[in-house]
Amino acid sequence: MSALIPLDTSAGLGAFGHDVWWIIIIKAVLIFVILVLLTLFNIWWERRVVARMQHRIGPNVHGPFGLLQSLADGVKLALKEDIIPKAADKLVFVLAPVIATVPAFVTFSVIPFGPVVHMFGQETPLQLTDMPVAVIFVMAIASIGIYGIVLGGWSSGSTYSLLGGLRSSAQMISYEVAMGLALVAVFLHAGSMSTSEIVESQKDVWFAFTLIPSFVIYVIAMIGETNRAPFDLPEAEGELVGGFHTEYSSLKFALFFLAEYINMATVSALATTLFLGGWRAPFWIDTFWPGANEGYWPFLWFMGKVLFFIFIFIWLRGSLPRLRYDQFMAFGWKWLIPGSIVWILLVATVRVIDLRGGIDRAWLIGGAAVLLVAFVALMFIPDREPEAEASEDEDFDAFAGGYPVPPMPVGSDHDYTGGQR
């Protein structure tokens, strides 16, 4: 008879804390299984999409469409020799991958996958738990993972690994500030930091439309936060061999790899929850299908939105070259953070006006669009005028600008490499 009782799918924070212990265990295990399977799928999907972009085939042998290739690679890593460098701090070297991986799983404990449903005869939300500061909890736990990267680079006893770890910490500080500032506008607009209540506040319109600048800043910051191309400076193989995980092998390297892809899923799930209505169906589907937001269907809408953001990660990796490190840091501190602060002030002002007298939504969306266009246009303005090209008649000063490249002496019998001609 309980299956016939209509469910209150918008119970908010009051729906949590009442589950029996075995339902909590089932949901925790399901989250773990979903994340592992999603990682295997994302690795395969990235290889297939990038292969298509580069006119290659990609994995297509192991399993249907090559879907088991990621599983085969995981087994191969597990069977490889586990090497610990002689100069490494062994205890920290072993713990670092675990520190990087565990927080990646914990962050999903407050992500809403769907509304209140019937599960094994029990009414329970498709979310492990929630709290009044759930979004802050996600950012706090995700920040712990950076310690695994920094400690892994430091404990390896390698200069390249140390530089990769330091780059990653600086990168996280820079872009997590911009990410946090982008989320402040969401908190002001929704009036809550609970993930389930933020999803409920988007039942009429998604925040990706009303808070366009916050959405754009968050998407850029989440790519920098996860060390993905074109922001993969901690793993720049042209400069640092392999970055912070240069000395790692076997399962410890696999854990770093797993943490990277789960972090991609975490920031994608957070973007879905905060900007794309979470588990709610796209509004054009909800208009002609009233049951689109009931039962287990919302889980499909949620995963579809997450995979959309994963595709953005893959698309950027196959399209853009890696930035120079100083360009990357300047972009975060000179553009994203100041832009986020200005946008927060505007959103707060509009929020106060809306509470005291009201403001037309059309004007609000139009103003946000104008600000976004202005922000993107300013990003393409060069910081300084390009230097005029030297005339052919002028003498070439090899030491100008601080680059010590002396010219070859006239009549020298040696080539540029120092060898005999």
Q: Which region among 37-51, 272-286, 301-315, 405-419 has the lowest average model confidence (pLDDT)?
A: 405-419
Residue 352's H or E segment, with its range, is helix 337-356
CA-wise closest residue to 54 among 318, 314, 321: 318
Average the pLDDT over each of 49-58, 263-272, 311-320, 407-416 and give the range with the smallest value. Answer: 407-416
d(CA 131, CA 123): 19
SS (H, E, C) 49-109: HHHHHCCCCCCCCCCHHHCCHHHHHHHHHHHCCCCCCCCCCHHHHHHHHHHHHHHHHHHHH
Burial of 46 (0-12, 13-18, 19+ CB in 10 A): buried
pLDDT at 103: 92
Task: Provide the β-strand partners of residue 119.
Answer: 122
Q: What is the mean pLDDT of residues 297-313?
A: 94
Number of Cβ atoms within 10 Å of the Cβ of 291: 9
Is residue 6 over pLDDT 50?
no
* Per-residue model confidence (pLDDT) at position 5: 44
Mean pLDDT across 15-26: 88
Mean pLDDT of the chain: 83
pLDDT tens per residue across span 369-389:
676 677 667 666 665 655 555
Question: What is the spatial distance between Cα 171 and Cα 189, in angstroms, rounded to a whole number?
Answer: 28
For residue 295, what pLDDT is reported?
Answer: 86
Region 267-276 average pLDDT? 95
Tokens found for residue 395: 């003498």
**Can you read off the two tokens belonging to residue 346?**
């505007």
pLDDT digits (tens, 9 = 90+) for 83-137: 888 888 999 999 999 999 999 999 999 999 999 998 888 899 999 999 999 999 9
Rounded distance, CA 43 to CA 33, Å? 16
Mean pLDDT of 380-409: 56
- Output phi, psi for 170, to 5 deg: -65, -40
Residue spans of alpha helices (H) in 191-249: 195-200, 207-210, 212-225, 237-240
Contact (CB, 8 A) for 48 and 58: yes
